[in-house]
């Protein structure tokens, strides 16, 4: 009887292992034929004359319906001299970025469980960096000349949450007492931050 129980346990374990190591499910469709699926002009520099000094042109499923179920997004990021793509996160996708022109200082912060470690690199033309899904990350142009990067994301709509915009520019506003306690600053600092305009550089 013990032998039968052992074999049954082994069979259940093998089945659980095969289910756990299965790959992502197949797309719901083989492909999406969208006759008007064309975005032209990704080679054209975008306006970076704004408070953060950058402009993100994101080509996700909202702009190219043919990306539906394909799990990819492409973005062009233009940076003014000393411009930045401010700290933000993509809750539904990892990101890989390649510098096409100029230099970028990039980084991400690990989770609380990993003691919020900061990982940074200085990237030059042709260099590549990866931002894991959900991690707060940023890019900054440290030079006097414009920079350009292209990014791929592992989702048809990875989402973007710009940290400062979300925390200080929410509508309606988060109770300033909550934020003053969370950031351990005087409530007047929070009031000032909540009153300013928070620019969204994502198009």
Convert the pLDDT of each residue in 2-42 to its tens digit. Answer: 655 544 554 545 555 544 444 455 565 666 666 666 788 89
What is the pLDDT at residue 93? 96
The pTM assigned to this predicted structure is 0.83
Q: CA angle, corner 178, sides to 137 and 195, nearest 5?
A: 75
Residues in contact with 188: Cβ distance below 8 Å, sequence separation at least 6, in sequence order: none
Of 186 and 66, the structure prediction assigns the larger pLDDT to 186
Q: Looking at residues 104-109, what average pLDDT do you find? A: 98
pLDDT tens column, 132-141: 999 999 999 9
Q: Which two tokens stand for residue 124?
A: 């030059």
Which helix (H) or strand (E) segment holds residue 129: the answer is strand 128-131
Q: Is the pLDDT of residue 110 over 50?
A: yes
What is the pLDDT at residue 81? 98
Q: Looking at residues 85-96, what average pLDDT do you find? A: 97
* Residue-range domain boundaries for the chain: 54-168
Instruction: Answer yes or no: are the C-beta atoms of 141 and 147 closer than 8 Å.
Output: yes
Q: Looking at residues 147-168, what average pLDDT do you find? A: 96
What is the pLDDT at residue 69? 84
Q: Is the pLDDT of residue 92 over 70?
A: yes
How far apart CA 53 and CA 187 sit, in angstroms, is: 28
Superfamily, domain 54-168: Jelly Rolls (2.60.120.10)
Q: Is the pLDDT of residue 67 over 80?
A: yes
Instruction: Answer yes or no: are the C-beta atoms of 70 and 132 closer than 8 Å.
Output: no
pLDDT above 70 covers a percentage of the chain that reads 82
What is the pLDDT at residue 171? 94
């Amino acid at each position: 009887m013990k032998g039968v129980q052992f074999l049954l346990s082994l069979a259940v374990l093998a089945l659980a292992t095969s289910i756990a190591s299965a790959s992502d499910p197949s797309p719901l469709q083989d492909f999406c034929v969208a006759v008007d699926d064309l975005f032209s002009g990704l080679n054209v520099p975008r306006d970076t004359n704004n408070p953060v000094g950058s402009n993100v042109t994101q080509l996700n499923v909202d702009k190219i319906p043919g990306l539906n179920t394909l799990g990819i997004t492409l973005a062009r990021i233009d940076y003014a001299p000393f411009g930045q793509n401010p700290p933000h996160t993509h809750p539904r996708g990892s990101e890989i970025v390649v510098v096409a022109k100029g230099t970028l200082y990039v980084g991400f912060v690990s989770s609380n469980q990993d003691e919020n470690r900061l990982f940074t690199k200085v990237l030059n033309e042709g260099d590549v960096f990866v931002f894991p899904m959900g991690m707060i990350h940023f890019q900054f142009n440290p030079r006097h000349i414009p920079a350009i990067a292209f990014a791929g994301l592992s989702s048809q709509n990875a989402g973007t949450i710009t940290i400062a915009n979300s925390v200080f520019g929410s509508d309606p506003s988060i109770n300033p007492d909550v934020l003053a306690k969370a950031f351990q600053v005087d409530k007047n600092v929070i009031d000032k931050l909540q009153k300013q305009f928070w620019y969204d550089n994502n198009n």
